[in-house]
Amino acid sequence: MLRLPAGKHPGAKRSPAEGGQPSRPSSDYLLKMQLVRRTRPAAATLSCPTPEALARNLSWHPALPTKSKMRIPHSHAFIDLTEDFTADLFLTTLSASGASQFEIWENLDGNFSVSTIFEKPQNMMVVGQSAFADFDGDGHMDHLLPGCEDKNCQRSTIYLAGSGTKQWVPVLQDFSNKGTLWGFVPFVHEQRPTEIPIPITLRIGDYNMDGYPDALAILKNTSGSNQQAFLLENVPCNNASCEGAHRMFKVYWELTDLNQIRDAVVATFFDIYEDGILDIVVLGKGYAKNDFAIHALKNNFEADAYFVKVIVLSGLCSNDCPRKITPFGVNQPGPYIMYTTVDANGYLKNGSAGQLSQSAHLALQLPYNVLGLGRSANFLDHLYVGIPRPSGEKSTRKQEWTAIIPNSQLIVIPYPHDVPRSWSAKLYLTPSNIVLLTAVALVGVCVFILAIIGVLHWQEKKADDREKRQEAHRFHFDAM
Ligand SMILES: [Ca+2]
Ligand SMILES: [Ca+2]
Ligand SMILES: [Ca+2]
């Protein structure tokens, strides 16, 4: 486990000046927080070890010798960026000259060592939060960076740095629709304490399950005051500037349901119906002042596309795992998931995702990963899962499963952590009409084959009888 010094922990309290939540939130907000807190202790005392017990096992030690200052607001991540299924550390820091830069600290033999430092795109003035997704569907993690080329975000851009490259390729530059120019909402340090400062953020999810992750972004009308959530679809590149990435984002300007939510502040994906299809949750300003309302939009996308939903648990018990109890635990940060399959045209297809790689500044990542498979109903040939490992441990913690059925949910229990071959995976299938139709078709085919066998058998028996009669007839004739 990585341990950061106290105060630098992602969960540590931050002052509003550092980009944390304001010290005096609105009364509604406070009320909700109190309600949540009140319900917590009862559940916590049942399953968690006492704070004293935890304190006994924890000790602080330096993990990284970085001298760079951290950028505020940061967008650090804990995700595998070196294709070895072990989470590395991605840091957003400031260079000596004060420019925004990115550091990748690779987990090499159990120790974090700096592998790459690279700068932001040259003309980017406002830098948003980095997001990670396998944008081009090659099985390796890519780095998406939204931002603006001027202070007021009149010219917004989303850049992509492909896996292993330091080269920035723009994947979305055109933010105009019917003469109206839209742009990201820049992060403002000094705001009224009633507002929550949120950096420019892309929230990732494959809403149409084609295997290419799409995104949700909040844009504002640069000439007016309207602010809305927009869906950005990942489509093949159709202009010269994004050629290096092969893919680009296309903004859905005319989605009535999303457009109806005025003054959207946060938008993210969530599988509300637990059916593997990602729905959308939008936080918008309510009708009353300083009031927020949560809107949920059902994704009624009904294409014949397939998915696999993977959740990697911590594989821990609250105390020592008593006998016969499966150590489920909760979903842990840092696992990396990759699949290989064959698409409808017979070509090899990959996809990958990291689980819970970011949390601060409302990253609002999914607690699981929904990997779109496109229209191919083929089995997943291989599904690899790797989890982070503690400092000093040299062997990777990675396991492979084969022949995973599409449209299923896989729950991976990595217990014990250091013996990947003992890890277990539970597969849950969602019974749907298609399953019933398949069963009917299967029974129908069986009955049809049985009928053919029956007819053939009957014909053969008839032929046998005829032959026997002829034989007997010939015998009599010969005897004469
Ligand atoms: Ca790695
Ligand atoms: Ca990729
Ligand atoms: Ca997609």
Rounded to whole angstroms, what are the CA distances from 269 to 52, 169, 198? 37, 25, 17
Distance (angstroms) between ligand 2 centre and the Cα of 452 equals: 51
**What's the pLDDT score for residue 215?**
97
Whether residues 387 and 332 share a domain: the answer is yes
Whether residues 204 and 289 share a domain: the answer is yes
Whether residues 187 and 272 share a domain: the answer is yes
Whether residues 240 and 352 share a domain: the answer is no
Distance (angstroms) between ligand 2 centre and the Cα of 115 equals: 19
d(C-alpha 365, C-alpha 311), whole Å: 13
SS3 170: strand
Sorted by sequence, the CB contacts under 8 Å of residue 132 that are 6+ apart come out as 77, 79, 81, 90, 141, 142, 143, 144, 204, 354, 357, 358
d(C-alpha 93, C-alpha 135), whole Å: 24
Distance (angstroms) between ligand 3 centre and the Cα of 76 equals: 25
Q: Has residue 324 been placed in a domain?
A: yes
Whether residues 277 and 313 share a domain: the answer is no
Q: Has residue 148 been placed in a domain?
A: no
**What's the pLDDT score for residue 119?**
93
Distance (angstroms) between ligand 3 centre and the Cα of 215 equals: 9
Of all ligands present, the nearest one to the C-alpha of 334 is 1
Distance (angstroms) between ligand 1 centre and the Cα of 81 equals: 5
**What's the pLDDT score for residue 39?**
34
Residue ranges making up the domain that contains 335: 306-433
Whether residues 292 and 318 share a domain: the answer is no
Distance (angstroms) between ligand 3 centre and the Cα of 231 equals: 11
Domain limit, last residue, from 297, 331, 358:
297
Of all ligands present, the nearest one to the C-alpha of 141 is 2
Whether residues 284 and 252 share a domain: the answer is yes
Torsion over CA of 137, 186, 357 and 400, rounded to 10 degrees?
A: -10
Whether residues 376 and 416 share a domain: the answer is yes
Whether omega before 73 lies within 30 degrees of 0, making that bond cis, reads yes
Distance (angstroms) between ligand 3 centre and the Cα of 398 equals: 27
Q: Has residue 150 been placed in a domain?
A: no
Q: Has residue 222 been placed in a domain?
A: yes
Whether residues 344 and 272 share a domain: the answer is no
**What's the pLDDT score for residue 275?**
85
d(C-alpha 119, C-alpha 93), whole Å: 10
**What's the pLDDT score for residue 212?**
94
**What's the pLDDT score for residue 8?**
34
Of all ligands present, the nearest one to the C-alpha of 105 is 1
Distance (angstroms) between ligand 2 centre and the Cα of 131 equals: 13
Distance (angstroms) between ligand 1 centre and the Cα of 295 equals: 37
Distance (angstroms) between ligand 1 centre and the Cα of 163 equals: 12
pLDDT tens for the chain, residues 1 to 480: 333 333 333 333 333 333 333 333 333 332 232 223 333 333 333 344 455 555 557 788 777 888 889 998 999 999 999 999 999 999 999 999 999 999 999 998 888 898 899 999 999 999 999 999 999 999 999 999 999 999 989 999 999 999 888 899 999 999 999 999 999 998 876 655 556 788 999 999 999 999 999 999 999 999 888 899 999 999 999 999 999 999 999 999 999 899 999 889 999 999 998 888 999 999 998 777 778 899 999 998 776 788 999 999 998 877 777 777 778 889 999 999 999 998 888 889 899 999 999 988 899 999 999 999 988 788 899 999 999 988 888 889 999 999 999 889 999 999 888 899 999 999 988 766 777 888 999 999 999 999 999 999 999 999 999 999 998 887 666 666
Rounded to whole angstroms, what are the CA distances from 21 to 6, 146, 199, 365? 19, 22, 12, 18
Whether residues 318 and 358 share a domain: the answer is yes
Whether residues 351 and 407 share a domain: the answer is yes
**What's the pLDDT score for residue 140?**
93
**Terminal alpha carbon distance of the chain:** 101
Of all ligands present, the nearest one to the C-alpha of 143 is 2
Helix residue ranges per DSSP H, 5-48? 27-47
Q: Which residues pair with 205 in a beta bridge?
A: 214
- Using a 10 angstrom Cβ sphere, with 0-12 exposed, 13-18 middle and 19 or more buried, the burial of residue 267 is buried
Distance (angstroms) between ligand 1 centre and the Cα of 335 equals: 11
Distance (angstroms) between ligand 2 centre and the Cα of 235 equals: 14
Q: Has residue 268 been placed in a domain?
A: yes
Whether residues 228 and 281 share a domain: the answer is yes
Q: Has residue 29 been placed in a domain?
A: no
Distance (angstroms) between ligand 3 centre and the Cα of 451 equals: 45
Domain limit, last residue, from 276, 297, 318:
297
Sorted by sequence, the CB contacts under 8 Å of residue 457 that are 6+ apart come out as none
Q: Has residue 394 been placed in a domain?
A: yes
Distance (angstroms) between ligand 3 centre and the Cα of 299 equals: 13
Number of structural domains, the chain? 2
| CATH, residue 405 | 2.60.40
| Enclosing H/E stretch for 234 | strand 227-236
SS3 301: coil
Domain limit, last residue, from 297, 327, 345:
297
Is residue 130 within 8 Å of 136, Cβ to Cβ? no
Q: Has residue 197 been placed in a domain?
A: yes
Of all ligands present, the nearest one to the C-alpha of 249 is 3
What letter does residue 87 receive in the DSSP assignment? -
